[in-house]
Chain A
Amino acid sequence: MTVEVSIPTILRSYTDGAKAIDATGTTLDEAVADIESRHPGLRERLVEDGALRRFVNVYVNDEDVRFLSGLATPLADGDTVTILPAVAGGAEGAR
């Protein structure tokens, strides 16, 4: 399965500036492993202890994979995967 993965600005240092890259895999986890083989370091920015990091959102087509099966979410040929860091923060932990 080949899918197109869109890369947010902050992670484009891993993809030589590319906004989108192709990846193969039958699940999101496999696609991330495939990306890691060509763009080392990216996986760690997305995955921690075998699960997606809390403040990284990953969508398959239009659906947040948290509402699907997380890293086990199946991929079909031509799917689009979108990675977006959460936009979050707040006064918790104010100096």
Chain B
Amino acid sequence: MLVIAVEIVEEIVAHARRDHPDEACGVVAGPEGSDRPERFIPMVNAARSPTFYEFESGDLLRLYRDMDARGEEPVIVYHSHTSTEAYPSRTDISYASEPNAHYVLVSTRETGAELGAYELRSFRIVDGVVSEEEVRVVQALDQVEPPPNPQRRPSP
């Protein structure tokens, strides 16, 4: 299960809308081994493509150096699909290289850059095997109650 603060969900969705129709991508880092997605880090999609994303090579090195220096790891690796559902594609599966990460996908196919319904789902991708997991959106990470505004929760 992924437990994520509503504020981080909103950042991820806002990034996906901002970059629509290209795919948006990034990481939410957290202390190593904590499983706490705390630090939202939007990345540039070097591919600038509606069907592909890739972190730019120099950005990737700086990101990992920075996380290392802070004792962090990528708790979430997120990206958007802009015309298909929020489910890992064959491409996503073949490049997935963080066995400990939650792979979060957002689909903007319904509303594009506009506000409105969106689909956000989370998966583990290990050795080519995809398993979907429950996403629990909380007001803050240390609080287990769902946020008071149900419209802010991702569609199932």
Contacts and interface: CB of A to CB of B under 8 A. Distances in A.
Interface string B64-84: 100000000100010101111
Contacts of A86: 54-55, 57, 60, 95, 97
Interface string A48-82: 00000001010100101010000000000000001
Contacts of B35: none
B61 A89 contact: no
A93 B91 contact: yes
5 closest pairs, A vs B, by CB?
A85-B97, A90-B52, A93-B90, A89-B92, A88-B54
B58 A64 contact: yes
A20 to B, nearest CB: 10
B87 A89 contact: no
Nearest to B59: A87
A16 interface: no
A62 B62 CA distance: 9
Nearest to B64: A84
B120 interface: no
B148 interface: no
Given A84-B64, A86-B54, A87-B54, A94 B97 contact: no
B34 interface: no
A92 B81 CA distance: 9
